[in-house]
Structure 1
Amino acid sequence: MCEVIKHRHRHDFVLPAIFTAIERGMFEFTDSVLQARPDLAWKLNQMGRNPFQFAIECRHEKIYSLIYRLDKRKRTVIGNNADNSDNCALHVAGMLSPLAKLDNISGAALQMQRELQWFKEVETIVLPRIKESYNNNNMTPRELFTRSHKELVKEGERWMKETATSCTVVGALIITIMFAAAFTVPGGNNGETGFPIFWHKNLFMAFIVSDAISLFSSTTSVLMFLGILTSRYAEDDFLKSLPTKMIIGLSTLFISIATMMVAFSSALFIMIHKQSWIVIPIIFLASVPVTLFIWMQFPLLVEMYISTYGRGIFDRKVKSRA
């Protein structure tokens, strides 16, 4: 089909197909057709939007990344073109994503982050004056973004606060337990010298070190979550600030839980090491909370880290077209 359309001047039979392909996220088809007929990048649909503006509307990042095959001047022209409602590409990026795309992202905060990433990415291809341009509703791209994402910001704030509140309670409990455990060491203290009775054992050092790590990491976790609870929750905070605090908070909370279990297992083994038939099953059960945390929270932590500090959803290294 691509070989045939190369030698035809008419495009009316291809144009509906390429816009349908973009709507459905068919990257290979769109890529092949645009390579065969580069001029289709300038054609418009019924709303007056070119294929790349339509890809922004549908939030298909792979198809949108094909714009980087064009030189900077052509990218700017495509981004600055206004549709039938005087919406440029940045106005389109300021509209709320289709629900089908948002539902694939975990949590309202990450959804808001993805929307900001789209807006910031499209912002790089338009002229500075376009950022202050008005559409038919007399709104700039940023004003349209703020109005369209008002409810999503509220949902993201609620999601962040609920998560931070729950984790703060857990972190505070660990701080209390680990602080008390540091002064009630297994076996007690020597009445004459005041030193712990088992201080010469290697397992006792493992207990002390893991107790200290758990205390410090849980304290850090609580401080991060308190930082989330007291944030101003501006739109741009969802891009890096809030996700970074959540990443640090969840990571340190995981470390504190893991080291708390190590401290418990070490203390238990020191006191009743001769009864290994009791100790080994209990130590095995101590790994259950750590496993549950990994199962329930680790996927969210990884997704948040990749979304914030990963390579990004846009591919700017697409080979340039002359």
Structure 2
Amino acid sequence: MRPAWSWVSEEAGGREEACGDKESAHTFDENGRNILQIVVEKKHLFLHDYLMSAVIHKDRMLSDIDFEGNCIIHLAASLGSPPSTPSGVLLQMMWDVLWFKRVKYDSYPYFWELQNSSGKTALQVLEENHETLRKDAEKTTKELANCTLIVSVLIATINFAAVFTVPGGFEQKSGNSVYLMNKHWEFFLLMFYLAGGLFAALFTMGTLLSIIFLRFDTEDFYAALPWNAPV
């Protein structure tokens, strides 16, 4: 019996042949893993999408368990990203969690809490494998947040000062703004933009402070941080 990994290139080479090839779903490597499991562990996006869409025995491959009791979600929790992933611990952590979530929702729900031979679920394996990477990504995120916070404070300070420093000065007798007396519409438009900039800066400061002072969980890199992190 040929190693399972040798079938990957053949599966990608001929779509029609792969769709009808029953042997591909029953071929395993020395660890008892089929082609789809190996592709998931290697995090090869193109081959994963191809096997999920073209091979008729994908249900069988999704349900296989290797010799160590790992299902396909356990293998998706491995550390490492494909070469096409941009460099940086933060992006790598985000990509790994995204890959784990994608494979998880493509698999069967009863695998979500399945324990391997070591008594660990897939999520526990993910957290264990990515503990160091998560800490490095958390540190990087907080450093970026600190730098962005300085800029936000500067913008808020400038906008706050500009609200009380109206261009054109004030009329000496009445004390009214010269700009307000001569250009009403432009004055209110200016105040609107200054207030909007001040509000946006304050909102950004609050978001950045929450990133700086909160402790991150592994799954935060899937949705919360990609939307809030200053990258």
Q: TM-score range by the shorter chain?
A: 0.7 to 0.9
Range moving further from structure 2, 158-167 or 121-130: 121-130
Q: Which residue of 2 aligns with 1:46?
A: 30
What does residue 319 of structure 1 align with? none
2:7 is aligned to: 18
Partner residue, 2:196: 213
- Measured in 2, the distance between the counterparts of 1:237 and 1:191 equals 57
* SS at 1:132 equivalent: coil
In structure 2, the partner of 1:61 is: 45
Q: Which residue of 1 aligns with 2:133?
A: 152
Task: State the alpha-carbon separation in 2 of the partners of residues 205 and 109 from structure 1.
Answer: 43
Paired amino acid for 1:57: E
1:109 to 2:90 alignment: yes
Alpha-carbon distance between aligned partners in 2 of 1:116 and 1:108, rounded to the nearest angstrom: 12
Q: TM-score, normalised by structure 2?
A: 0.84
> Partner of 2:160 in structure 1?
179
Q: Which residue number in structure 2 is paired with residue 228 of structure 1?
A: 211
Helix, strand or coil at the partner of 1:198:
helix
Q: Is the 8 A contact 1:86 1:135 kept in 2?
A: yes
Distance 1:15 1:140 in 2: 25
Instruction: Work out which of the residue numbers 189, 194, 198 in structure 1 matches 2:179.
Output: 198
Q: TM-score, normalised by structure 1?
A: 0.62
The match for 1:294 is none
1:189 is paired with a residue of what secondary structure? Answer: coil
Q: Deviations over 1:172-231 (max 9, x none)?
A: 111111111111111111233333212233655554333222211111111111121132
Say if 1:223 and 1:30 are closer, same or farther in 2 by CA, change over 3 A. farther
Query: Is residue 227–residue 245 contact of structure 1 (8 Å, CA) maintained in 2?
Result: no
Cα gap change, 1:61 to 1:108, in 2 (>3 Å): same
Is 1:168 matched up with 2:168?
no
Q: Tell me: CA distance 1:51–1:216, structure 2 relative to 1, closer, same or farther (3 Å).
A: same
Provide runs of 4+ in structure 1 moved above 4 Å.
30-33, 202-206
Q: Report the CA distance between 1:76 and its aligned residue.
A: 4.2
| SS state at 1:120 partner | helix
- What are the residue-to-residue correspondences of 1:250-269 with 2, within 5 Å? 250=230
**Cα distance in structure 1, aligned partners of 2:157 and 2:27:** 65
Taking the aligned partners of 1:114 and 1:96, their CA distance within structure 2 comes to 11
In 2, the alpha carbon distance for the partners of 1:31 and 1:162 equals: 47
Q: CA deviation at 1:241?
A: 1.4
One-letter code aligned to 1:60: H
Query: Structure 1 residue 240: deviation in Å?
Result: 1.0
CA positional deviation for 1:109: 2.9
Unpaired segments of 5 or more residues in structure 2? none
> Aligned pair in 2 of structure 1 residues 145, 208: CA closer, same or farther (>3 Å)?
same
Percent identity between the aligned chains? 27
The separation in 2 between residues aligned to 1:193 and 1:39, in whole angstroms, is 92
Q: Which amino acid aligns with 1:133?
A: L
SS at match of 1:45: coil
Q: Which residue of 2 aligns with 1:295?
A: none
Q: Does structure 2 conserve the Cα–Cα contact (< 8 Å) formed by 1:79 and 1:90?
A: no
Q: Does 1:34 align with 2:18?
A: yes
Note the alpha carbon deviations across 1:129-159, whole angstroms, 9 max, x for none: 4333333433222221111010111011111
Displacement of 1:161: 0.4
Contact 1:93 1:119 in 2 (8 A): yes
Q: What is aligned with 1:84?
A: 67
Residue aligned with 2:69, SS:
coil
Name the CA distance, whole Å, in 2 between partners of 1:181 and 1:164.
Answer: 25
Q: CA deviation at 1:18?
A: 2.7
Query: Do 2:94 and 2:221's aligned partners in 1 also have CA atoms closer than 8 Å?
Result: yes
Q: Compared with structure 1, are the counterparts of its residues 161 and 16 closer, same or farther at alpha carbon in structure 2 (3 Å cutoff)?
A: closer
- In 2, Cα distance between the equivalents of 1:104 and 1:126? 24
